[in-house]
Structure formats: C-alpha cells, structure tokens
Amino acid sequence: PNVMIKIPATRAGLPAITEVIGLGVSVNVTLIFSLERYREVMDAYLAGLEKARAAGLDLSTIHSVASFFVSRVDSEIDKRLAKTGTDEALALKGRAALANARLAYEAYEDVFGGARWTALCGSANRQRPLWASTGVKDPAYKDTLYVDELVAPGTVNTMPEATLDATADHGEIRGDTVTGGYAQARADLDAVEKQGISYDEVVRQLEDEGVAKFEAAWGELLDAVAVSLSRKGVDGE
C-alpha cells in the first residue's frame, strides 16, 4: 500500500498511467516540465480512476503524485538569459522555475475543482503535485528557495538531504507562497519569451535529457544485474 510505481510523463507514458491506475496500482508520475503535459498527466490520472471505478475497484486505495521538476528549469533558462546578457535578461534569472511551478498549481486547482473530479471525489484521492529537483543549482540563490517559495495546500516537496537540513535550520516557511502569485508568474514567463527564449523548446529539451538519464540509469542497473548473475553462476551460489 505504500508503493507507487514511477512512470515518466512522456507521450508514451500517458496511456500507461491510465492503464496502471485503472488496475488499482498507485503511480508516481515523474519527469514533468511543461504545463501542457501536466494537464495531460492529470487527465490520464482521472481516466485511470474512471476505469478503476468501472471495474468495481476501491478508489480510496489508489494514490498518485505528479512530480513537477523545478530547479532544472531555472538552470536551462538562466543559462540562456546569461548568454543574452542584457540587464532585462539578467533580471529574470531565478524566476522561471517558480513561475512554472506556480502555474502548475493553478492548473491543479482548476482540474481538481472541476466537474470531472467532483464526479469521482467521494472516495478517490487527488493526484498531489510534487515538487521535484528542489535543491538549488546556482550557489547565488538561497539554498531553500524552492521550498520557501513553493508552499501550498496538498503539495509534496522531495528535498535532497542538504536542502532538508537547510530548511530545518533557516527555512522561512510563512504559509502559502503559491496561490497569490499566478499573475506575476505569467508575467515572468512572458518576459522570458520576449528575450527570445522559447518555453516549449526548453521544456522539450529538459524532458529529452531526463529520459536519456533514466535510460542510462536503467542500462547501468541491467549491467550490474548481469554481472551479479554471472558471478553467481561461477561461484555456484
């Protein structure tokens, strides 16, 4: 009951999310960068719940989180802003990731406040937004930036150990820092686009890089298992 199967939010992953949820298996949807894809993920989750309900399953036992990656967005966009080098561009550094995450939460409120969810929510669980990659990559930023500024009801924040320790030591948890900032978030992303930086291109690149990292990790795991099995055969264990 405490296990979630991790499925990446790629095009190929979306129908898999629906099928697995429909079988009553809890899912951690990972590798979400774009707002459009996040809405598709929530749609896939609701479709899965609808399938599970049609199959007579207990919806209260099915859980899901949607892992929306944060710091990698700033890393890529900040790099492009620095290359542009104007005062306007540099002033936008460190703002895109928070804007993206806040607008994701706005989408979450929209979907899980809508009629489709209302028809399910008697016993079903919301798919909680999960902030992933919340350790800062730029030492110029406060080490708890992606914790202090992403506090909202129903969210999960998977902090690296150093970020967790920093938050316990000097984090500034001052209540909801998300829901009042949607207009500014849209303005920040619009300002980035006006610098000639394509949001769609950035999120597509980050997804491709994330998939490549997953594939490399999977390959390393298979290699390790193969080596272990070959040793077992030699040693007769």
- The whole-angstrom separation of Cα 152 and Cα 142 is 19
The enclosing domain of 24 has a CATH number of 3.20.20.70
Active-site pick, 6, 93, 137, 232: 6
Asked if 104 and 68 count as a contact pair (C-beta separation under 8 A), the reply is: yes
Place of tokens 């209540």: 175
Cα of first residue to Cα of last residue in the chain, in angstroms, is 33
pLDDT at residue 231 tops 90? no
Asked if 213 and 132 count as a contact pair (C-beta separation under 8 A), the reply is: no
**Banded pLDDT at 236 (limits 50, 70, 90):** low
What is the percentage of the chain residues whose pLDDT exceeds 90? 95
Q: What residue numbers bound the domain in which 144 lies?
A: 5-235
Q: How many domains does the chain have?
A: 1
pLDDT at residue 33 tops 80? yes
51 is catalytic: no
Global pTM reads 0.92
